[in-house]
Amino acid sequence: MELSKLKTVESVDVSGKKVLVRVDFNVPLDEEGNVSDDTRLVAALPTINYLLEKGAKVILMSHLGRPKGKVVEKLRMDGVARRLEELLGKKVKKLNDCVGPAVEAAVAQMLPGEVVLLENLRFHPEEEANDRQFARALASLGDIYVNDAFGTAHRAHASTAGVAEFLPAVAGFLMEKEVKALGQLLVNPPRPFTVVLGGAKVKDKIGVLENLLNKVDRFLFGGGIANTFLRVQGYDLGDSLIDEEHLSFAAEFLKKAQKSGVGVELPEDLVVTSGDNGEVKVVAPGEVPGGWKALDIGPRTAERYAELVRSSKTVFWNGPLGVFEKEEFRRGSEIVAKAIASPGVTSIVGGGDTLALLEKVGVAGKVTHASTGGGASLEFLEGKQLPGVEALMKGTGEEKSGVLGKETVGSR
């Protein structure tokens, strides 16, 4: 993937144009349908505000939840529109569909500087099927297509890949920021380069482990992943979560890492419990009592990991190192999180749970880059091509109206 080919919204003249923007407004709603976490809305503001300042007609589109191709009342975008209005300080007209005559008529009446939010894309099964006619119908609403939804870039859907066949396609500022930050990890990261991986299962991280093995200086493991690697080394971990199906992969990975001179750091102590309301104590990996579970890295491990992180130039982190939702099993992740936020460390964090952890311990705004796309960031680091990003790198194409560049993009 040649990142230099990624054209951005600044490379096109948007003044007076209808700009169709794919955003990631897949946000949590409360019982009243109001947005309970507006992080993704805030992340899209730089692109939206830029377009408004340049006099564009801004048409926003997103999915919300998993309605599976049917209209689900509680997954309508009305609450999103209300919160976006508050953030922008201006009216956001929310439409009741994303395609069709009524939508076309509403868009045709737009004036420069106005904002329209389309209804949930996934109310139509054609969205996830990347149906060509549905993509064409969406594209007909705009003169220019901007993809600012990195969180869905790994999906080949009509709004993330299909639309780009019919319109001049460029990246929004968030998309550009994500691709550059993650791309740096694969190309030439400042060293030492440390990768911190937690979460439940090895299988979820196999692609990242394989692709980064010869690019990093060390891995730090926590959570169920660490348990699996500890089991490979012969430790009995009681009832702790183990990815039994991938023990052979873990064993082979350790051999490859040793051969490549890549460090693999595992917990030297663990926080364990006898049950939901049971006793909690710290033990060495080989001393987990029968029936007990390891739910966090221990204090010695946390301090060692924190020191390794602080001595790094680049750190990527995905997956909490323990069951951080409970205070007694959060301390290890918290210590490492505060180290990642240290000055002089280029820190890139991905994954919803990891970002929630950073928020909880008060360092979310102190990392270099917090990726809004958990699955997309992992697939990017696996070396996979992301359909939503690839679609932006294919030039204008014969079917696209107008010309990329400042010269002209024909208005409909």
| Residues with active-site annotation | 40, 201, 352, 375
Q: How far apart are CA 29 and CA 75, in angstroms?
A: 9
Separation in Å, CA 363 to CA 87, 181, 244, 351: 23, 19, 34, 15
Q: List CB contacts of 244: < 8 A, sequence separation 6 or more.
A: none
Q: For residue 76, which phi and psi values (nearest 5 degrees)?
A: -70, 160
Dist CA 188 CA 196 (whole Å): 18
Q: How far apart are CA 190 and CA 216, in angstroms?
A: 10
Q: What are the tokens at 126?
A: 């054609």
User: Is the distance from CB of 316 to CB of 282 less than 8 angstroms?
Assistant: no
Residues near 260 by beta carbon (within 8 Å), at least 6 away in sequence? 213, 214
DSSP-based three-state secondary structure for 407: coil
Q: In what order do the strands lie in the sheet with 280-283?
A: 280-283, 270-273, 293-297
For the chain, the C-alpha Rg in angstroms (whole number) is 23
Burial (0-12, 13-18, 19+ Cβ within 10 Å), 342: middle
